[in-house]
Chain A
């Protein structure tokens, strides 16, 4: 299992390892699941109540399906840990964060200073993405 390098939550790390979506549907007590890019995040919606951790896998950072998975889960009200796992690069961190990820487990550790700069890059944003940030249009018409 890859280590979590960045986490924006105060609660304890989930104890159970994440299982595949198929296994998750077979295990009525599982509390952590990992979804792959081709899997439908909406299939998890009936189970959000018992999920503490959802890992979203990025086998290649240029495959952006995980961003939509994250937003679909957050829009449906998921409040547990949403962890991006895999081929994460510095330049995607702020965008992942905006889509609802609050934990990051890159398969190759990232330079801490560069990553911090990336998280803090954008003081303002143009879109509403459910991350609680007021978009520029809201500031203009506040």
Chain B
């Protein structure tokens, strides 16, 4: 296993990333650090390459230029076998859940465990699947269902149960609350917050959901003009004089979310 990093060390380091699709340059000279134990929210307008950035980090998209380090290890140009022990240490939730359609939810959750830790006994495997499933707020009945029998929100929950299967140190979430009802979305925020706190999880979270940003993100990275234009806490970002950031956080939705977060803090105090 790699080095055990202290809190605050960067888990992900991206330097000078460039991604090109045909004529279109998506990223150029993009730098980003994700620190250990933090929840980093990644925001940006549609088409600014949030998902592409995530895909580059997890190795699904080979960048044209640049370096990416995860857990202090170089990821670009790494061969598949070598990268396997790094992959084991992270979990990914894709936008649509990306569950395997021929397996039940419980079997989906067990896939990564079986892949990396063969020889666990069936009973423990089932127990692990069961508590992971109910941890994500799915009803017990969902365990034996197939993905096609679930609603979009339930699929997302099952997806996160699978992402959490190996108790990863690093979690990539691509719009986890999109398509969930507000109550479900709030429960999801709470779940991610609690898990990241309890497990010391580092979370890379792509979102459009301002409530999520206020509720659980330690820092927020803003993608615009092909790079990360700013990283910081929300108050820090608000102090910046950047048109998109100001519009994003000061717009009607941004103000509503801020007010909501403020109210919650008052109630808590």
The answer on A and B forming one complex is no
Chain B: residues with CB nearer than 8 A to chain A? none
Chain A: residues with CB nearer than 8 A to chain B? none
